[in-house]
Homo-oligomer: A and B are copies of this chain.
Amino acid sequence: MRIKILGSAAGGAFPQWNCGCSNCSRLRQGTLRGKPRSQAQVAVSNNGSSWYLLNASPDLRTQIEATPELHPQAAIRETAIAGIVLLSGDVDAVLGLLLLREFQPLNVYATASIRRILQDNCLFNVLQRMPQQVRWNDIRPGIRFELSSPDGVTAEIVCEAIALSGNYPVYVKRDDRMQLAEDEAVLGLMVASAGGKRLLYVPSLPRLDATLVAAMEESDLLLIDGTFWADDELARTRGRGPSAREIGHLPIAGADGTLQTLARVKRPRKIYIHVNNTNLILDEDSPEYRQVREAGWEVAEDGWEFQL
């Protein structure tokens, strides 16, 4: 199974359009040792010709263009993208769906709750320009499912969603949120190759529990929420703002941050992804970057590829 990182930043990307923090301004000036990053986007394939997207980022158009494997190969209208698995309803996980309009059949995998949020939103009607353009596949945490193309060809990739204790996006009205299943809001995803190798993708990690740590210990590659270095990072950078935990992200640093709590997970290659523009680990000269690297973690970059 091939795994491509098309984007590795959190929502807003790096640099962020309206941010003049030290990271963003030094990156623009060319004085930061570090890389620009588009918003988190992963693609997987077992055969190199049919690809499945994990989430659909707002940067998907340029991410596809930067990835020759995803370009049309044969017909006039064609795509190597066979399906999309959605792990939350957040704007930075779903907006890319709207960029995949243009009369293209798509297989979308999501919980019934996420599907309902999107189907209730008329903007997503742009994906219904022809009958059966989008086939929705309802998934449930803990129940395995196999990816396949819109015409039913198996990808030989088996997935299993893991419920995380996250919240539905704030754009969903409060009353509507109350109607939705609690365990369908934010997911991690185990992705197993035909050979039984496992990627665990958790771009938003609101809390750690035993199930999730067990899944990590069974995986070969971890792509984990690296949004914030510190819990108070937003307030510290711009004078105000919610804590990392308040908006559904365990920070990296601190006694119960992921760097310490996941030190005992030894088996997989461990990579931080979904890194916010304010995160000090984006500066490769920073002590924070060094600390993460010395603990055996890597910091994902756009364009990286793995083979499992």
The answer, among B17, B78, B126, B241, for a CB contact under 8 Å with A171, is B126
Q: Using a Cβ–Cβ cut-off of 8 Å, how many residues does chain A contribute to the interface with B? A: 57
Residues of B within 8 A of A58 (CB): 58, 61, 98-99
Q: Is A100 an interface residue (CB 8 A)?
A: yes
Docked pose: A68 CA to B74 CA in angstroms:
39
Q: Is A123 an interface residue (CB 8 A)?
A: yes
- Chain A residues in contact with chain B, CB under 8 A? 12-13, 15-21, 24-25, 28, 36, 58-62, 64-65, 68, 70-79, 81, 91, 95, 98-104, 121-126, 129, 169-173, 237-239, 241
Verify B121–A72 contact, CB threshold 8 A. no
Docked pose: A20 CA to B173 CA in angstroms:
40
Verify A18–B126 contact, CB threshold 8 A. no
Residues of B within 8 A of A24 (CB): 72
11 of the cross-chain contacts (CB-CB < 8 Å) are A15-B65, A17-B64, A19-B77, A20-B71, A20-B77, A21-B76, A24-B72, A58-B98, A76-B239, A121-B122, A125-B171
Give me the 9 closest cross-chain CB pairs, A-B, nearest first: A20-B72, A125-B171, A18-B79, A17-B64, A76-B238, A18-B104, A126-B171, A122-B171, A77-B238
The answer, among B59, B68, B122, B241, for a CB contact under 8 Å with A172, is B122
Q: How many copies of the polypeptide does the oligomer hold? A: 2
A53 to nearest B CB, angstroms? 12
Q: A21-B76, A126-B170, A237-B76 are in contact. Are A16 and B102 (CB under 8 A)?
A: yes
Docked pose: A91 CA to B19 CA in angstroms:
25
Docked pose: A58 CA to B56 CA in angstroms:
14
Additional pairs, 15, CB under 8 Å, beyond known A17-B64, A20-B75, A58-B61: A16-B102, A18-B72, A18-B77, A18-B100, A18-B102, A19-B72, A59-B61, A59-B62, A76-B237, A76-B238, A76-B239, A95-B95, A121-B121, A121-B123, A125-B170
